[in-house]
Each structure stands twice: as C-alpha cells, then as structure tokens.
Amino acid sequence: MISQSIMKAIVVYQKSLTPSANKIILEMAPKYQIELFQESELIVNITQHILVPRHEVLTDEEKKTLLER
C-alpha cells in the first residue's frame, strides 16, 4: 500500500479477524481508510429483499412517459 500510495482498502474475511489482525488494522486506521466486511454480510441479494419492489421491464409506452417527466 505504501509503495503504490494506496490510502483506502476493503478487507473481506470469512469468520472473524484474529486479535493480531485487528491490532494491525487499528494501528493503520489513522493513516489508511480500511473497511471491514464479513463474507456472510455480502451474500445477500438485495433484489430478493421483501422491501424492494419487484423489478420489471418497462413497456415502450411506460418508458416514454418516464422520460417525459
């Protein structure tokens, strides 16, 4: 990260971070922006969520109406 001047990182881990990995990330926090995600958090298809409306293809008439707004 230093040699390529990278200041932001995303870390995806499977179960949990080891205490030593957690310590290193905390030490790097003032200089780098590091986002942590557990793999299970990312295995959600948001389009299948109950609060997301069903995705449907618009007809030509619906497209025209939408673009005229």
- Going by the DSSP 8-state scheme, the letter that residue 1 receives in this structure is -
| Mean pLDDT, residues 49-63 taken together | 86
Domain assignment of residue 48, yes or no: yes
Taking only the tens place, the pLDDT of each residue in 6-22 is 899 999 999 888 999 99
Task: Give Rg (Cα) of the chain.
Answer: 21
Domain assignment of residue 22, yes or no: yes
Domain assignment of residue 59, yes or no: yes
Q: What are the start-end ranges of the E strands in 1-69?
A: 8-13, 33-38
Domain assignment of residue 1, yes or no: no
The answer to whether 11 touches 19, Cβ cutoff 8 Å, is no
Long-range pairs of 48-53 with CB within 8 A, sequence gap ≥ 24? none
- Structural domain containing residue 15: 8-68
Domain assignment of residue 45, yes or no: yes
Number of independent structural domains in the chain: 1
Taking only the tens place, the pLDDT of each residue in 27-44 is 988 889 999 999 888 887
Domain assignment of residue 57, yes or no: yes
For residue 5, name the pLDDT band (cuts at 50, 70, 90).
Answer: confident
